[in-house]
Every structure is written in C-alpha cells, then in structure tokens.
Amino acid sequence: MEMANVIGLILIFGLVLVSAFYQLSAFIWSLLIGVGLIGVTIAGLFSPITLIVVWSIYLIAALFTNLNLFRQQYVIKPALNFLQQQMPSISATEREALEAGNTWWEKELFSGRPEWKKLFNTPKPTLSDDEQQFLDNQVEQLCNMLDDWQVVYEERDLPKNVWDFLKKEKFFGMVIPKQYGGLGFSALAHSTVVMKIATRSISTAVNTMVPNSLGPAELLQHYGTEEQKSYYLPKLATGEEMPCFALTAPEAGSDAGSIPDKGIVCRGQHNGKEVIGIKLNWDKRYITLAPIATVLGLAFQLYDPDHLLGNKENIGITLCLLPTSHPGVEIGTRHYPMQLAFMNGPTRGKDVFIPLEWVIGGEKMLGQGWRMLMECLSIGRSISLPALSTACGKVTYRYTGAYARLRRQFNTSISSFEGIEEALGNIAGYTYMLEASRLMTAGAVDLKVKPSIASAIAKYHMTEMSRTVISHAMDIHAGHMIQSGPRNFLANLYIASPISITVEGANILTRNLIIFGQGAVRCHPYLLKEVELISAANPNIKELDRVLMSHVGFFVSNLIRNIAYGLTGGRLIFSSIKNKRIRQYQKQITRMSAALALLADTSLMLLGGSLKRRERISARLGDILSQLYLASAVLKYFYDNNKPNSDVDYVCWSLQNCLQKIQIACDELFNNFPNKWIGKSLSWIIFPFGAAYLYPKDKLHKDIVKPMLEPSDFRNRLTQYCYVSEKENELGFRLEKSLSMMSVIEPLWKKLMQAVKSGVVSQKLDWQERLNAAQQAGVITADDARLLNEFEILRSEVIKVNEFSFDLKQVIA
C-alpha cells in the first residue's frame, strides 16, 4: 500500500477514534469525518479503490445514523419481536425490588467514566456534637457495664441493668426523630454506636441495632399514618414497646417475596364492634427480638375474596403492626443462634383478627409491603452489618496487632515472622477498607440516598472481609483464642460471622443475583429505559430508536476507550490526585470502570434475559462493580482525611487488592464467557499485554503492618471507637498498656538477652535470678529491672487463658 494511502487512512481512523471516544452525536461525527474525508480526497492521499471503499462505508454509516425515520421504520420496527425475546422478563416483585431505593456513585462506576469530583466533593460524613457526646458518655458507660462472658455464657441474655440502661438512654430510638421522643441520629451516628458496642459485645450490639434498622420504627417513619407514628414512635424510642419484624417463614427465606403467610379481608369483632379487618395466619421463624417483643411487625400476602375493599382479589404483600398481647399471637420460645445471647425466635398465629387500621400506613398501603421492605432494607444494609463488620476489623487491628508484638516464640516476637506478617497485613488492609466503606455507605444514607446497590455491595463484601479478618486473627492467636472464657475477646465475633453472612440477604444470593442483576438494570444508562420501552403494550418506536442509538454509541465509545486504555496501560487517563503513587491507581480504577461498561454490555447483548440464570457470570460482573465501589470508598476516605502521608501505603495496598480482585473476576469471566472467541477478544482488548494487576507486594504488606504494632495517631484514628477498657484486669487494658511500654522495654530486653547469650548472665538462672545477675553485672539498672519485671507480669497475664472447674461451671483462673 502506498504511503499516502496509509497516512490518509490513519487520519480518518484518528477521527473515528476521537468521535467514538467522546461519544459525539451522529450529526457531529458525520460532519467531522465527512470534512476529514473531503480534505483527504482533495489532498489526493487515497488511491481510487480506497476512495470508493472508505466513502461507501462512511456514507452507509452516516445515512443509517442520521436518517431517523428510515431507521425507525425499516430497522427498529421489524427488530421489535427479536428485542422482546432478548430482554429479561421482570416479574412484579422483581420490579418493585429493582425500583426500590436509588442509585448513587455505583451509577458513575457503571458509566465507564466516573466523575471523581462528584464523589470527592460530597461532604465528609461527620458526627454532630450531640452524637459525639452520646458516644463519649452513654455508649462508653454501656461498654463499661458489659461483660460479654456474663451475657453469652452465664445469663444467655443481657442483664436487667443493661436492658434498663438501653431503654432509659433511648438506644432503641436512635433513628426516631426528636419530635417523636427519639434521638434523631444520623446514619453515621447509628452506625458508629452499633460498631462501638460490637467491639465490646456482639450480642448487645445486635439487640440494639435491630429496633433501629429494618423494623417497625423505620417503616412507621416512612409509611406510617400520623396516628400510628404518634402512638408508637415515642413508646419505641423509650423501649416501652419492644419491636420485632417478621418476614422469614420456613418455606420462604431468601425468596421472601413468596411468603405463604396469609391475610383474608373479612368482617370481625374489634373492641366490641363489627369492623372490616383481616384474618391472619402466619408461621415465622428466625425473628430477632421476637421472644421479648411487645409489638410485632408482620409481612403477609393479602387477599380480598369477598371484594370488601374493591375489585382486586389478590392485593399483595402487606405489612401490619400488632401488639403481641393480642389474642392468638404466639411468641416466647427462643432459637439459639450460634449460642449467642441476642433474642431470636419464632412467632405464629392462627385466625387472628386485626382491624384495618393496624396496617402500616393504613388502607392506602395495602399491597405495598414489598416495595416498603425493599426501600427500608437498603437503609438497614447500609448501616447495621457494615457496622458489625468494621467492629471486627477494629478489634483485631488493635488487639491482635498488639498481641502479635507481645507474643514471643523462639525468643522473637511472632509479628516478625513473615507468615504472621501476611495474616496481620490482611487484617490491616481490610480494616482500612472496612472503615472507608462504612463511612462512605452510611454517609450516602445521610445524603438522603437509599443506596440499593451500594448497600448490597457493602453487605456482601464487608461481611466477607470481616470473615477474612477474624479468621486471620484466630490463626495469629492460635490456642489463645481457642480456649473459651472471660479472657477470650474474639470467639463471639468469630462465631457471629456466619450470622452476618446470612441475614439481610444471604451472601451467595446477594453476590450472584442482586449486585449485578439489580446493578445492571438500575445503573446502566439505557437498559431500564429499553426494557420499559420494549415491554410496553404500544412501544414508542421513536423514543426506543433514540435510546437504542444512544446505547450503540455508548457501546462503541467504551470499546474504543478500552482499546486505547489497554494499549497505553491507562497512563493517559486524567487524574486529579497529586500523590504520584495513588494517582496511578486512580487511573486504573477509571480504566476498569470502562472495562466494566464494555463487559456488562457484551454480556447483556449475548445472554439477554438468560443472564439472570447465569449467576456465575453475573457474580463476576458484580465483583468488578463491587471492587470499584470499595476502591472509591478508600479514595474518598483518603480525601476526607486531607490525604495524610500516613495513609499512602494503606491506600496503595487497598487499591492494589481491589484491582487484583478485578483481575481475577475478569480472567474468570473471559475463561467462562458463553462464547469462547468473544471472551478471548475481550481479554485481548482489555488486557492486551496479559494480566495487569497482581496481589500487593510483600514489601507493601510489611509496610502496612508496622503501624499496627505500636501506639500511633494513625492506629488511634483507624481504630477510633473501638472500646478500650480501663479495667486493669481486662485483656484489652493489659494489651494497650504492654504495647505502650514496648518502646522502653524492647531495648532493655535485647540487652538482657545479649547478656544471656554472651554468658555474662547464666542461662541456667530463672527470670528473677537473671534480673539480679544482670543488675550486678551492670547490664541493667535497678529501675530497668523493675520495669522489665512489671512488663513480664503484664505479658504473662496477656498470654494466659482461662481454667475452669471439671464441670466447667466455675472459672478458676
């Protein structure tokens, strides 16, 4: 081919790339490329054959994209049938779940071009003075009162004084507005209170969090009638009424939309009068607080066979509140979730008649229950489980880090063994990610967002991160945390891990079905609109054509951007971050956002409605979206803390970890793509030079472990609101104290060990004799010896485990 021809083609191809990259409108790109072609033609760069081929392609494409009426009539209309078959069918309950809540930053990530400024400019989540005081006083006081061994193993319930304190200080009314007698706290405060309690007693945290998360108070606030709000909210705030909410039934767990529990509209007696009401039958299980509830929130399917309310027979899922003292309500027996002490149990009722005014929101909310639950679920999932998960991170960061430094094997602190360092590094990095994600997700709720997808991401990934963290911590403590007893501060957090994994949408379902399934429909810039237009009784062809053409433009633009990003390694992507190391990562996050947009579109095109059944494809796409979200949370946390140097290694570790997880998800997706060649092509486009992201390097891992092992401002910030006991006989206190002595003790210890090694102090001597001999030999002073001895006593207390009488009824030591 002649040189001039090649130059001409490069020029035109460049214009095509620019048009697609910036997603120019059909008219503008036609004009731009048309002018380019005229220029190239006049300059005589093209040979006659190239001229004919290039102009023909251009004219077909330009006419197709600009002649709207022609395209609508001869392409879109005939293709409608095919499109209807391709589109996922959406049932009524699915639609309500999909439409519940709103989208937020996830939508930016899905767009392939996240506008970082939007995220960084959202206000930093901050506690008010009242909230801060509550944490410093009431929550601290509560934690001082709590003894988790007593709660879980001795009383199997909270002691009465703890219940009374929780009620008196309105812990159950954190989300209830002040006008109804509650504390009116922000989501951030709610999350922080639950988290701090969980660092002391997980059972107490669960009992406290449930009335504040998905349940009567939240539902009443959003949907209750004024009468219901005025009656119940003040009583719920003071704990005079104890609520529970019952959705789950033996045959309807994850598939809660299919609950068999029934309500039939009928006439009946209430307060001595005949009224229209509902006859209820239910059999629910796993209900937190049910055994002690005074007010029961119930979800059931409502039917009106006699048309007492209107024409509709099957009204749909409805929610009501009924006093547990009402005749026929069965509560009181307990389940025993992992032998923890929070209240959980079944509830049943047979032919229980209730008046219509007990329906939450009254008659107008009949049949609206599923939407109400889905909307409130996104709020609950953004707060409670992220709070519990972050508590695991904080406890293990603070105390397992300290323990690893203190525990010696082979005369060396175990924290210096590389194997332990690996486990510690994971705790350190994930704790940073947990705190960042907690703040960003609770912060979104305070911005009045009901983040349906972000909350599912937070629920799934944060509970999984906490499972990882707690397992690493157990490995580091080894026998020390295997032995039960008052000295064991990890066992209950470890035991509780599967509970968080199961509740509020079990994790496998959340990962495989919800995150991408819901995310694609809600976050994709065109998909939901397309589904609506295509499934309409009389599709609006003009609008459908407009949306489809925009979608094609979006796809082509993402394809071109991925090719460009792949070939340049994303180096030319704009980043506003000054720190050189972090800037590189931010570019890669943007690059992977473009990759997600391309992968999602290709999967949707190829699989259409069957993507719902291809859960493992959906899960991997969801993993990419999730890791992008978690990475964004880390960047936001870094920004909100004014980009401190102390955080740089942590940010790099977290982002590297997210990118590596994205790499794994992408590779698995390419390998299992329904069409092998498309899978391979996507892999070549996105990663033309092979895998781009590896696991964080050992050196980086080592660097993030260091701040765990000594007292520092950074350690205090990351573990802020982790309860630190001031009781001298508690492990937390001892660990803190020993760690604070380490900088003085370590050099003395080394001197002493050196003296033993060199024979100045005999190896045969016991500890006290060694100290004396070292003093006499002038190796250490009397003060040094006293300090070393004090430290050794403390250290030996730290490593002790409990002993019990033979029948295990009495703690002996």
Positions that interact with ligand FAD (CB under 6 A): 244-248, 253-254, 286-288, 337, 344, 499, 502-503, 506, 508-509, 512-513, 615
What's the DSSP call for residue 808?
A: S
In angstroms, how far is the first alpha carbon of the chain from the final one? Answer: 89
Nearer to ligand FAD, 337 or 451 (CB): 337
| Closer CB to ligand FAD, 289 or 794, in the complex | 289
Q: Chain centroid to CA 794: how far?
A: 38
Q: No. of H helices and E strands in the chain?
A: 36, 9
Could you give the 3-state DSSP secondary structure of residue 340? Answer: coil
Shortest spacing between CB 502 and ligand FAD, in angstroms: 5
Q: Max Cα separation, the chain?
A: 103
Distance, C-alpha 761 to centroid of its chain: 56
Name residue, tokens 């403390």. 794
Measured from the CB atom, the residue of 206 and 264 that comes closer to ligand FAD is: 206
Nearer to ligand FAD, 280 or 533 (CB): 280
Task: Compute the Cα dihedral for 580, 584, 585, 590 and give only its sign.
Answer: positive
Residue 691 DSSP symbol: -
Judged by beta carbon, residue 209 or residue 589, the one nearer ligand FAD is: 209
Q: Record the tokens describing residue 325, joined without a space.
A: 């003292």
Helix (H, G, I), strand (E, B) or coil at 597: helix
- CA 513 – CA 746 distance, rounded (Å): 52
Of 421, 504, 530, 797, which is the active-site residue?
Answer: 504
The distance of closest approach from Cβ of residue 511 to ligand FAD in the complex, given in angstroms and rounded to an integer, is 8
Residues 636 and 624: their CA atoms lie apart, in Å, by 18
Residue closer to ligand FAD by CB (options 108, 261) is: 261
Give the three-class secondary structure for 330.
strand
- Provide the token pair at 319: 């929610």
Give the contacts of 573 (CB within 8 A, at least 6 positions apart).
565, 587, 590, 591
Measured from the CB of residue 245, what is the shortest distance to ligand FAD in angstroms?
5
Q: Taking the complex as a whole, how short is the minimal distance between the CB of residue 468 and ligand FAD, in angstroms?
A: 18
Token pair belonging to 303: 């039917």
Rounded Cα distance between 416 and 555, Å, is: 50
Token look-up 């930093």 returns 124
Shortest distance (Å) from residue 362 CB to ligand FAD: 22
Note whether 635 and 586 are within 8 A (CB).
Answer: yes
Q: DSSP string covering 354-381, please?
A: EEGGGBTT-GGGTT-HHHHHHHHHHHHH
| 762, two tokens | 């005999």
In terms of CB distance, is 286 or 489 closer to ligand FAD?
A: 286
Least distance between ligand FAD and beta carbon 532 (Å) = 24
Angle at alpha carbon of residue 539, lines to 559 and 599, rounded to 5°: 20
Contact 131, 185 (CB under 8 A): yes
CB of 369 to ligand FAD, least distance (A): 12
Give min distance, CB of 286 to ligand FAD, in A: 4
HSE at residue 738, side-chain half, CA atoms within 13 A, is 30
Q: How far is the CB of 247 from ligand FAD (least distance, A)?
A: 3
- Residues whose CB falls within 8 Å of the CB of residue 470, separated by 6 or more in sequence, listed in order: 392, 396, 490, 493, 494, 497
Instruction: Name the DSSP class of 249.
Output: B
Does the active-site annotation cover 790? no
Question: What's the sign of the alpha-carbon dihedral 255, 261, 262, 268?
Answer: negative
The radius of gyration of the chain from alpha carbons, rounded to an integer in Å, stands at: 31
Quickly list DSSP for 83-104.
HHHHSPP--HHHHHHHHSSB--
State the residue number with the nearest CB to ligand FAD. Answer: 253
**Nearest approach, Cβ of 252 to ligand FAD (angstroms)?**
8
Tokens of 286: 């796993």
Smallest distance from ligand FAD to CB 285, Å: 8
Closest to ligand FAD by CB, 491 vs 534, is: 491
Measured from the CB atom, the residue of 176 and 503 that comes closer to ligand FAD is 503
As measured in angstroms, the least distance from the Cβ of 509 to ligand FAD is 4
Q: Which amino acid is at 257?
A: G
Q: Between residues 517 and 707, which has the closer beta carbon with respect to ligand FAD?
A: 517
Distance of alpha carbon 149 from alpha carbon 721, whole angstroms: 21
Rounded Cα–Cα distance for residues 470 and 481 (Å)? 11
Which residue, 502 or 579, has its beta carbon nearer to ligand FAD?
502
DSSP-derived 3-state class of residue 323? strand
Of the pair 249, 434, the CB lying nearest ligand FAD is at 249
> Count of alpha carbons within 13 Å of 715, Cβ hemisphere only?
22
Distance CA 20, CA 564 (A): 11
Catalytic residue annotation: 504
